[in-house]
């Protein structure tokens, strides 16, 4: 199913290296996530992160908030890749369905941009724990894009 997300050949405003530099600078507290930005284009993004003991809950499942944080991050970076660095872009709505037990090891997020408006941007994300092929969760995320000098909600 992961392969069903059509990539775009168009070059976005920020490359993977640009996004990594932005993250390191603006979100130093995200460093422990050890995010890898594997791909970004004008419509899709692919992130991965290792999951270990600290992300687990009883039953050996990766905790819901870890999945939520990665999905949120995927759409945030996908939007920034298009608009350029706007740290004050804020999530206004986030929804997620947990579909299957996520196995620890490696968590992958495949994000897709559904709308990039002047004020709101919307995307959805499938989360996987390879090698399992079926998604472990599906999230939709809305971001508010602030006009200059505005907080954006």
Residues that bind a copy of itself (CB under 8 A): 1, 3-6, 26-27, 29, 53-54, 56-59, 61, 64-65, 68-69, 72, 87-88, 90-101, 114-115, 117, 119-120, 122, 124, 126, 134-135, 138, 140, 142, 144, 151, 153
With both helix axes pointing from N to C terminus, report the angle between 16-26 and 64-83 in degrees, rounded to the nearest 10. Answer: 120
| Shortest Cβ 108–a copy of itself spacing (Å) | 16
Contact (CB, 8 A) for 81 and 14: yes
In this complex, which beta carbon is closest to a copy of itself, that of residue 38 or of residue 134? 134
| Shortest Cβ 126–a copy of itself spacing (Å) | 8
In this complex, which beta carbon is closest to a copy of itself, that of residue 115 or of residue 131? 115
Residues 101-130 as b/e (b if ≥16 CB within 10 A, e otherwise) read ebbeeebbbbbbbeebeeeebbbbbbbbbe
């Amino acid at each position: 199913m992961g392969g069903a997300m059509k990539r775009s050949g168009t070059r976005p405003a920020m490359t993977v290296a640009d996004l990594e530099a932005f993250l390191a600078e603006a979100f130093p507290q995200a460093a422990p996530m050890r995010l890898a930005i594997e791909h970004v284009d004008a419509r899709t993004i692919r992130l991965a992160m290792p999951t270990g003991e600290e992300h687990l809950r009883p039953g050996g499942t990766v905790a819901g908030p870890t999945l939520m944080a990665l999905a949120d991050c995927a759409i945030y970076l996908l939007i920034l890749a298009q608009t350029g660095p706007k740290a004050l872009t804020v999530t206004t709505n986030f929804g997620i369905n947990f579909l299957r037990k996520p196995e620890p090891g490696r968590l992958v997020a495949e994000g897709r941009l559904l709308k990039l408006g002047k004020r709101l941007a919307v995307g959805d994300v499938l989360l996987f724990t390879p090698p399992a092929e079926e998604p472990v969760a599906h999230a939709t995320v809305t971001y508010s894009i602030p006009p200059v000098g505005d907080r954006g909600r």
